[in-house]
Amino acid sequence: MTMSTTQNLDTDVVIIGAGPVGLTLANLLGVRGRRAIVLEARAELIDYPRGVGLDDEAIRTLCTAGLWEQVRPFTVPHHVVRLVNGAGQVLATNDPKTEEFGYPRKHGFIQPLVDKELAAGLSRFAGHALRFRHRVVGIEDHRDHVVVTAERLDETGAVVDTVTVTGRYAVGCEGGSSFTRKWMGVEFEGKSPSTRWVVVDVENDPIGTPSVYLGADPRRPYVSIGLPQGIRRWEFMLHDDEPTELVEDAGFMRSLLERHVPDPAALRIINQRTFTHHGRVASSFRKGNVFLAGDAAHLMPVWLGQGWNSGIRDATNLAWKLTAVLHGDAGEALLDTYTEERRRHAADMIDVNMAAGTVMKMRPLGGWVRDRAASALNLVPRWKSYFTELRFKPMPRYATGVVVDQATLTPGTAEAGLERSRLVPFVDSAGAVSPVGLQFIQPRVNTAARTGALLDEVSGDWWTLATWGTDPTAYLTPADLELVRRHRIALVSFMPETQRTWAEKQYADAAVPVTVAGDTTGALKDWFDLRACGLVILRPDRFVAAAALAQQASQALAAVVTAGSLTTPVPEGALA
């Protein structure tokens, strides 16, 4: 029986759902000094494996959250993926070698163990709380705050009492059946194919290879994945005439596995589930003070391992924006850019995953054509590298939002091309495409205090204004420097390592401290050499908000202020 409300809690952000997205968001808020309460209907974290692919962008976020070292033991780097046909012929190999963001592009991982570390990380923050057995049943948006009502459940699932949590914002991260999304009344657009798959995880991997195989076998498509700690995962497609209940039959499961291992009966199964792929995206990720993130905002098939990673991108994008508004650094309009920036990329990832699923499930005739086309494409280095280097994966590029067009310095939008710039023809650069809206690289650098540090460790986790080979304060006005102080913008000068000591002495008396980062690998020089800019302004999520010539520093900074709805310092005497 429901009793009267017994608790009233207060926080900055109410997070609904203790999956990886909600937990990551809470940690990112915590490291930046904001409070969060996470409400989870379950009695504990989900203990069965789901996601198995972790990419370098997500690792960069885990570093920002201060949790990568805790998560690292549950990962395996350089996860190679091979698409094979029914005869075992390799049609395409996905083995990207680049580490442009500081880490190998692809990792295998064990999600339950990683999620536990994300949950444990919340104990670092005095204002945080993770509350299990709290089933959210109501949301009220009062413009200047939200009130979330949850039923507190006992061990049997019966309602003990109700709890109300008041926060400035609420974020629904509770998965595909999201209560929050239904409360928002937004469309969940896309498709849910009827194809069912059974996933089987076993311990003491009976194969022992570390790779991933996508089996595009017309007889029965499958996936075989080597995971950390000796776990092997298989996924098998069920045919339309096979009832879901069939997977409970031990003989049927042995028949699925017998083509892959010598003795299926000897396997120790630690997880077995049946699931259906979905490709859906919410029409909006925001309604007033309430937001969606992760599977609550978008569902995508598992083919490219991007469900978990796309949710982490949501948390990364939303966390700094919520922090900025809560801290008084930006106006509410900044939060409108969350849907603008994240929805398009999520939809693109869904499209690519759906296409990959189509390739996997081709019938014999289509498979024959696919196999021969793949063989021909592998003979062309350019097309082969398209798969090998993961170029088919759409990298996030924000064309609207907190970005500044490089050609015109117009805030809020960013064209990829630079044709409209009158300055580019006079710049000695091969760059014809703007880097604005893309994630900035992360090489290792030297500073006066550190050797071989990753760039994020040097620049910090907030705004950065950086130049190549020059003093970043040279073209900033006194008002600009006050803005730099107000928004805690790190000023960084990228220098060849040979010039670092000179630059440190040269900028020692700068009006605002300048960190000189020695380019030990040449990666930063190469980056600027191929782009028509000498200055970048990086957002807290490490995406390029603006790129310009060094002399345009003041105009570029002003445009970023407008694009990000950032607050400006009040001039002395203005309130007198």
Looking at residue 366, its pLDDT comes to 43
Residues 522-558: tens digit of each pLDDT: 999 999 999 989 999 999 999 999 999 999 999 999 9
Using the 8-state DSSP alphabet, how is residue 382 labeled? H
Question: Does one domain contain both 262 and 283?
Answer: no
* Cα torsion angle, 400, 305, 309, 171, sign: positive
- Residue appearing with tokens 């209940």: 245
Asked if pLDDT for residue 35 goes beyond 60, the answer is: yes
Task: Find the range with the poorest average confidence among 1-5, 89-93, 101-105, 284-288.
Answer: 1-5
d(Cα 3, Cα 429) in Å, to the nearest integer? 70
Question: Does one domain contain both 472 and 346?
Answer: no
Mean pLDDT for 17-25 is: 97
Asked if pLDDT for residue 353 goes beyond 50, the answer is: yes
- Asked if residue 362 is part of any domain, the answer here is no
Looking at residue 431, its pLDDT comes to 63
Residues 401-451: tens digit of each pLDDT: 999 999 999 999 999 877 666 655 555 555 678 999 999 999 999 999 999
Which helix H or strand E contains 55, and what residues bound it? strand 53-55
Tell me which of 319, 335, 355 is where a domain ends: 355
Question: Does one domain contain both 262 and 346?
Answer: no
Residues 360-410: tens digit of each pLDDT: 555 554 443 434 444 544 444 544 444 444 444 557 789 999 999 999 999
Looking at residue 568, its pLDDT comes to 86
Tell me which of 217, 246, 276 is where a domain ends: 276
| Burial call 298-312: b when 16+ CB within 10 Å, e when fewer | bbbbbbbbbbbbbbb
Tell me which of 276, 301, 332 is where a domain ends: 276
- Asked if residue 95 is part of any domain, the answer here is no
- Residue appearing with tokens 């009966």: 265
CA distance to 55, 148, 285, per residue, from 168 (Å): 32, 11, 17
Instruction: Please report, for the domain that includes residue 257, its CATH number.
Output: 3.30.9.10
Looking at residue 363, its pLDDT comes to 53
> Tokens for 197?
């798959």
CA neighbor of 217 nearest in space, from 87, 94, 91: 87
d(Cα 26, Cα 514) in Å, to the nearest integer? 31
Looking at residue 95, its pLDDT comes to 82
Residue-averaged pLDDT of the chain: 87
Looking at residue 370, its pLDDT comes to 36
Looking at residue 425, its pLDDT comes to 54
pTM: 0.89
Residues 325-341: tens digit of each pLDDT: 999 999 999 999 999 99
Question: Does one domain contain both 307 and 345?
Answer: yes
Instruction: Please report, for the domain that includes residue 442, its CATH number.
Output: 3.40.30.10
d(Cα 255, Cα 251) in Å, to the nearest integer? 6
Mean pLDDT for 204-220 is: 88
Residues 341-351: tens digit of each pLDDT: 998 877 777 66
Q: Provide the greatest CA pair distance for the chain.
A: 84
Question: Does one domain contain both 259 and 301?
Answer: no
Q: Mind spelling out the 3-state secondary structure of 223-246? A: EEEEEHHHEEEEEEEECCCCCHHH
Looking at residue 97, its pLDDT comes to 79
CA neighbor of 437 nearest in space, from 337, 292, 517, 529: 337
Question: Does one domain contain both 504 and 479?
Answer: yes
Looking at residue 1, its pLDDT comes to 44
Mean pLDDT for 72-101 is: 84
d(Cα 318, Cα 324) in Å, to the nearest integer? 10
Question: Does one domain contain both 245 and 264?
Answer: yes
- Asked if residue 380 is part of any domain, the answer here is no
Domain count, the chain: 3
Question: Does one domain contain both 18 and 66?
Answer: yes
Asked if pLDDT for residue 229 goes beyond 50, the answer is: yes
Question: What range defines the domain where residue 454 resides?
Answer: 400-563
Looking at residue 145, its pLDDT comes to 96
Q: Amino acid identity, residue 56?
A: D
CA neighbor of 309 nearest in space, from 323, 293, 291, 285: 293
- Asked if residue 56 is part of any domain, the answer here is yes
Residue 348: HSE in the Cβ half-sphere, 13 Å Cα cutoff: 12
CB 549 within 8 A of CB 534: yes
Asked if pLDDT for residue 271 goes beyond 60, the answer is: yes
Asked if pLDDT for residue 559 goes beyond 90, the answer is: yes
d(Cα 78, Cα 80) in Å, to the nearest integer? 6
Backbone angles phi, psi at 290, to 5 degrees: -120, 135
Asked if pLDDT for residue 570 goes beyond 80, the answer is: no
Q: How long a stretch of residues is the chain?
A: 576
Residues 241-268: tens digit of each pLDDT: 999 999 999 999 999 999 899 999 999 9
CB 481 within 8 A of CB 506: no
Asked if pLDDT for residue 49 goes beyond 80, the answer is: no
Question: Does one domain contain both 211 and 262?
Answer: yes
